[in-house]
Amino acid sequence: MGDIVEHQVPEPLPEAAPVPDVVGGRRQYLSRYVRRRLLILVPLAFVVTVAAFGMTHAAPGGPIAALLEDHPTSPDVIAAIKAKYKLDDPVSVQYWTWISGVAQGDFGRSIMTNDSVLSEITRRLDVTIPLNLAGIAIAVLLGIPLGVLAALYRGRLLDRLLVTVSVLFMSTPAFALALFALYFLGFKAGWFPLYGPGSWVFGRVHHLALPALVLGLHGMGLEMRLTRAAMLEQFEQDYIAFARARGLGSVHVTVRYALRNALIPVVTAAGLLLTGLLTGSVLVETVFSLPGLGTLLVNSVIDGDFPMIQGLLLFIAVWIILINIAVDIVYAFIDPRVGFGKATS
């Protein structure tokens, strides 16, 4: 082994312009990039809030009717409520009051619950965040291996089966999947509790397991399809063949070469998935009676609780953008080429 016979080696010509080392350039690139993406937040917040404001105020109904909930009323009562929530001010004034509050971290108070919007939102994060994270974890942990498997068995029965199953999960409305799981796994099998978020760590894990599974399966389809497509693309690559030609084992080639490179698009998709799951969790939370952001949003929408709707929309938009930024940063870590003219988007 390793006995290299001395021989005359033709030296390479000097490199025209060696590409500099990774560290400085990339870091600079990333921070510039993140800053640029963060800048979107300002116009985004403006547009989202103005749109939300315009919509909630232009819409008939609104909080008054919701507040009264069909109970007997009179103009006096209505006037009192309007005064309390300053609903008689011109919309622009209301907006200004609200947005300057937001700038100071005060998102106002919910009309329905009289509680601070911010505390309502933060209170629900300990359901929605674990739910979404668990959902994405399941989607990724199931989707990627299954996608790899499908790609390895390309064109064969297993592949078509897996692809069809993934499409099935994508095509099943989240709420239907949730009801299905609730009925069969929760009720018939009795493995999971049927409602609520549970308390303490174990209870929460137990209660969130089924909804997270539903979310995960719903998202798995996308992740699996993408992984499969990316893996197939990888399998065509020269470097895969070259790795095999060097005698590297098929597991090594599949994991360290194909999967490693396939991860680049797959991670981007995971970011998308988080956005998608947020929507999915609205429905799943409703079915599983979970006090998360989703049920909060649905309730506020039904009640016309617009301080809450505005706060939530702003929160969600910011959340999604931050996720996208985070994904792009992860992306930069798994793709060493980022920052050298290979654009991310």
Partner 1 sequence: MSAIATASPRRSILRRSGFHRMPSFFLVTSWLIVGLVIFMALFWRWIMPHDPNEQDLLNTSASPSSEHWLGTDQLGRDIFSRIIAGAPSAITGPFIVALTGVVLASSLGILSGYMGGSVDMLIQRFVDFMFALPGLLIAIVIVGVAGGGYWMAVLVLSLLNFAGSVRIIRGASLEQRALPYVEAARTLGVPRHRIMYFHIWRNISPIVFASAALDFALALVALSSLSYLGLGTSPGVPEWGRMLAENQALLFTNPAGVMAPGLAIVLFATAVTVIGDWIYDRFSFSGRTGR
Partner 2 sequence: MAASEQLLAVRGLRVAYVAGAEPRTLVDGVELDLDRGETIAIVGESGSGKTLTARAMIRLLPTGVGVTDGEVRLDGNDVLSLRGREAARLRGNRISMIFQDPFTMLNPVMRCSKHIEEVLRNRSGPKLGRTAAKDEARRRLAEVGIHDPAAADRYPFQLSGGMRQRVALAAALAGDPELLIADEPSTALDVTTQAEILELLKSVQHARGMGLIMITHDLRVAFSVADRVYVFYAGSLVEVGDADAIEREPLHPYSLGLLLSEPATEFRQQALLGVEGSVPAPDEVAGQCTFASRCRWMEADCVAARPSLVEVEPDRFSACLRIAEIRGEMDVVRHEVRSVAEPPEPVEHAVLPFVSISNLRKVFPDARTPAIADISLSIAEGEAVGIVGESGSGKTTLGRCLVGLETPTGGSITVGGVDASDYAKLSGEDRGKLRRSVQIVFQDPYSTLDPTQTVGAALREVLRVNGYPRDRADARVDELLARVGLPLGYVRRRPAALSGGERQRVAIARTLAVEPKLIVCDEPVSALDVSVQAQILNLFRALREEFGLAYLFITHDLAVVRQVVDRVYVLHRGLVVEEGPVDRVLDRPEHPYTERLIASIPRSAA
Partner 3 sequence: AKSSKAGAVGGTLTWALQTNPASLFDAYYFSAEGSTFFSLVQDHILAPGTFGQPTTGEGSVVQSWKATSATRYVYTIKKGIKFSDGSTLTAADVAFSMNVHRDPKTGSKMGDFFGNVASIRNRGNQVIVVLKKPNSNWQFTPAASPGLVYSQKDYKAKGANFGTPSGMPIGTGPYKFSEFTPNSRVVLVRNPYYKGKKYPWDRIVFPVIPDEQARLLALQSGQIDGTFAVPNNNIGTWIKIPNLKVGTYVSGGWRGFSIDVEDGPFKDVHVRRALAYSLNKPDINEALASSRGVVLDGLPPLLFIKGLLPAAEVNAALKKVNKYPYSLDDAKAELAKSAYPKGFTTTLNTPNGCPACLLLSQVLAQGASKIGITINLNPMPGPQRFQVILDHKPNLGIQVLGQAPDSPHPMQYLDLLYTSAHAQPGYENSANYKNATVDKLIAQGLQSSNLKVAARNALKVMQITSAQVPYIPVFMFPGAWAVKSGWEFKSSIGPFYYNQIWLKDLVAK
Q: How far apart are the first and last CA of the chain?
A: 47
Rg for the chain, CA atoms, rounded: 26
Position of tokens 């990339």? 26
What lies within 8 Å, CB to CB, of 185 at 6+ separation is 191, 192, 210, 213
Q: Which does 195 bind (CB under 5 to 8 A by kind): partner 1, partner 3, partner 2, none?
A: partner 3
Per CB under 8 A, which region of 97-105, 107-115, 136-144, 278-286 contacts partner 1?
278-286
Q: How far apart are CA 194 and CA 183, in angstroms?
A: 9
290-319 footprint of partner 2 as x/- string (CB under 8 A): ------------------------------
**Please, what is the minimum distance in Å from the beta carbon of residue 147 to partner 2?**
17
4: enclosing H helix or E strand: none
Which long-range CB contacts under 8 A does 232-235 form with residues at least 24 apart? 232/151, 232/154, 233/262, 234/258, 234/259, 234/261, 234/262, 235/151, 235/154
Q: Does 276 bind partner 1 (CB under 8 A)?
A: yes
Q: Which does 16 bind (CB under 5 to 8 A by kind): partner 3, partner 1, partner 2, none?
A: partner 2
Q: How far apart are CA 324 and CA 268, in angstroms?
A: 8
145-164 footprint of partner 2 as x/- string (CB under 8 A): ---------xx---------
Q: How far apart are CA 165 and CA 152, in angstroms?
A: 16
**255 phi, psi to nearest 5 deg:** -85, -55
11-50 footprint of partner 2 as x/- string (CB under 8 A): xxx-xxxxx-xx----------------------------
Q: What is the DSSP letter of 199?
A: S
Per CB under 8 A, which region of 89-97, 138-146, 177-185, 240-248 contacts partner 1?
177-185
Per CB under 8 A, which region of 95-103, 190-198, 240-248, 303-311 contacts partner 1?
303-311
Residues 213-272 interacting with partner 2 (rule: CB under 8 A): 235, 237-239, 241-250, 252, 256-257, 260-261, 264
Residues 62-91 interacting with partner 1 (rule: CB under 8 A): none
Q: Does 337 bind partner 1 (CB under 8 A)?
A: no
Dihedral sign for Cα atoms in the order 108, 110, 114, 115:
negative
Q: Which does 73 bind (CB under 5 to 8 A by kind): partner 1, partner 3, partner 2, none?
A: partner 3
Q: Which residues bind partner 2 (CB under 8 A)?
A: 1-2, 4-13, 15-19, 21-22, 154-155, 235, 237-239, 241-250, 252, 256-257, 260-261, 264, 334-337, 340-341
